[in-house]
């Protein structure tokens, strides 16, 4: 398959965890990839694991907290491939749990920028290109924090809840352009975003590959169907055995 023949997916937070698992799943189905994150070594390892040639696996170093980052990222992907068929808004950020009144203003701004503003901005840019071609899929990765509103994660929870609401509203606007808009709301996933915690049995957490499988189900869903919201929870509760 040549670069021009392959569908193109842009994956944020592609250097590790869910983003890497999604990138590998997309590569196995023949996609060319734009891999975006802040750390080159992690992105290069993802590219190596995809076994794609460099021309079909573009690495873009980007900090999505920067206001101009979404436009620059989408521009780099479009300049290189000429198209974006799938957008995976996976990048997320949160500091260790800290009470709201002790949260630094810089951390507050970064959480809103990375978890909410960047996915919205990328969706607007990419969906405009998709709507002209009459096809495309955008998948936003939220979190069960959007529904469970845990203590000391108020801003993160608000950003992820906003991402869920945005997805539903954007789908209502874009569905008639045949652009799929979906949000995945996963519970505990075994990634570096969740530090070691004696209260959680990591063996019961979902592996990133399970979220990637849900992404691929959305990407490959029938043309007349859109799974607008997909909720994933570990079959067994990783925190069930904990006693306060």
Q: Extract the tokens encoding 45.
A: 């390892």
* 156: annotated active-site residue: yes
- Alpha-carbon span 192 to 195, nearest angstrom: 6
At 242 the pLDDT is 52
H helices of the chain, in order, are: 17-28, 40-50, 69-81, 105-112, 118-133, 145-148, 154-174, 208-219
Query: What residue ranges do the domains of the chain occupy?
Result: 8-232
DSSP lists the bridge partners of residue 37 as: 61
Distance CA 103, CA 206 (A): 29
Position 244 scores a pLDDT of 43
Concatenated DSSP letters for 105-126?
HHHHHHHHIIIIIHHHHHHHHH
Which own/partner pairs from 193-196 qualify as long-range (CB within 8 Å, at least 24 positions apart)? 193/17, 193/92, 193/94, 195/96
Q: What is the DSSP letter of 163?
A: H
DSSP label at residue 83: -
Q: How many other CB atoms are there within 10 angstroms of residue 229's CB atom?
A: 16
- The CA distance from 92 to 193, in Å, is 9
Provide the pLDDT for residue 183.
Answer: 98
Q: Given this model, what pLDDT does residue 22 score?
A: 98
Q: What is the pLDDT of residues 152-192, one digit of tens each?
A: 899 999 999 999 999 999 999 999 999 999 999 999 999 98
Main-chain dihedrals φ then ψ at residue 194, nearest 5 degrees: -105, 110
- Superfamily of domain 8-232 in CATH is NAD(P)-binding Rossmann-like Domain (3.40.50.720)
Q: Is 157 helix (H, G, I), strand (E, B) or coil?
A: helix
| β-bridge partners, 87 | 10, 138
Per-residue pLDDT of the chain (244 residues; tens, 9 = 90+): 455 678 999 999 999 999 999 999 999 999 999 999 999 999 999 999 999 999 999 999 999 999 999 999 999 999 999 999 999 999 999 988 899 999 999 999 999 999 999 999 999 999 999 977 778 999 999 999 999 877 889 999 999 999 999 999 999 999 999 999 999 999 999 998 888 888 889 999 999 999 999 999 999 999 999 999 999 999 999 987 554 4
Of the candidates 81, 93, 156, 166, the residue annotated as catalytic is: 156
In whole angstroms, give the CA distance from residue 154 to residue 103: 10
């Amino acid at each position: 398959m040549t670069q021009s023949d392959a569908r193109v997916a842009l994956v944020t937070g592609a250097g590790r965890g869910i983003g890497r698992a999604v990138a590998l799943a997309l590569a196995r189905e023949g996609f060319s990839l734009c891999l975006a994150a802040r750390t080159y070594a992690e992105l290069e390892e993802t590219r190596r694991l995809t076994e794609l040639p460099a021309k079909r696996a573009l690495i873009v170093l980007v900090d999505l907290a920067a206001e101009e980052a979404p436009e620059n990222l989408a521009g780099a992907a479009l300049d290189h491939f000429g198209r974006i068929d799938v957008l995976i808004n996976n990048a997320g950020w949160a500091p260790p749990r800290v009470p709201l009144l002790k949260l630094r203003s810089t951390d507050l701004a970064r959480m809103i920028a990375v978890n909410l503003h960047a996915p919205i901005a990328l969706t607007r840019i990419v969906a405009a290109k998709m709507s002209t071609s009459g096809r495309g899929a955008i998948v936003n990765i939220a979190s069960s924090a959007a529904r469970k509103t845990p203590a000391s994660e108020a801003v993160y929870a608000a950003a992820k809840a906003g991402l869920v609401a945005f997805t539903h509203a954007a789908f209502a606007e874009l569905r008639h352009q045949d652009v799929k808009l979906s949000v995945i709301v996963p519970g505990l996933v075994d990634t570096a975003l969740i530090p070691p915690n004696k209260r959680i049995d990591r063996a019961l957490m979902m592996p990133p590959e399970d979220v990637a499988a849900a992404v691929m189900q959305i990407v490959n869903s029938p043309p007349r169907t859109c799974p607008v919201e997909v909720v994933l929870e570990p079959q067994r509760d990783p925190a069930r055995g904990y006693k306060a």
